[in-house]
Amino acid sequence: MKPFRLILALALVAALATTVAVAGPDKGQPTEPKLIPASMAKPVYPDAERKSGVEGTVILAVDISAAGAVAGAKVDKPVDGHPAFSDAAVAAVKQWRFEPARLDGKPVGITVKIPVKFTLQEK
């Protein structure tokens, strides 16, 4: 029984190694841009929403240039009834910087969806 388990374990390890080697961006697909943590300005929590105890998540469509700068940001999904969240999210994300997406090793511009969460307590 033990030799069978060893062979099965080796076969699983080989299958995982093959999967990992194949994983990654497909040819013709850009890599994801990576946020530079030091540039991540936190959004300012709107006073009215804070006082009301309102929380929510704004989804932004963010254009990131080939240089890694935010070229534009627009609201893809707002927090209904609370436009101040959208304004705060856009203002913060416009300050962020990224390692740009790459296609065939060259930096490229890309549009990504970014959620910006507003929570009253740090989790």
CATH number for the domain harbouring residue 39: 3.30.2420.10
CB–CB of 56/79 below 8 Å? yes
The pTM score is 0.74
pLDDT for the residue 121: 85
Assigned domain for 32 exists:
yes
Assigned domain for 97 exists:
yes
Assigned domain for 40 exists:
yes
pLDDT for the residue 16: 31
**Spans of the chain below 50 pLDDT:** 1-25
The alpha carbon torsion through 88, 90, 117, 122 (nearest 10 deg) reads: -50
> Which residue range is the domain that position 94 belongs to?
27-118
Secondary structure letter of residue 37 according to DSSP = G
As for how many domains the chain has, the answer is: 1
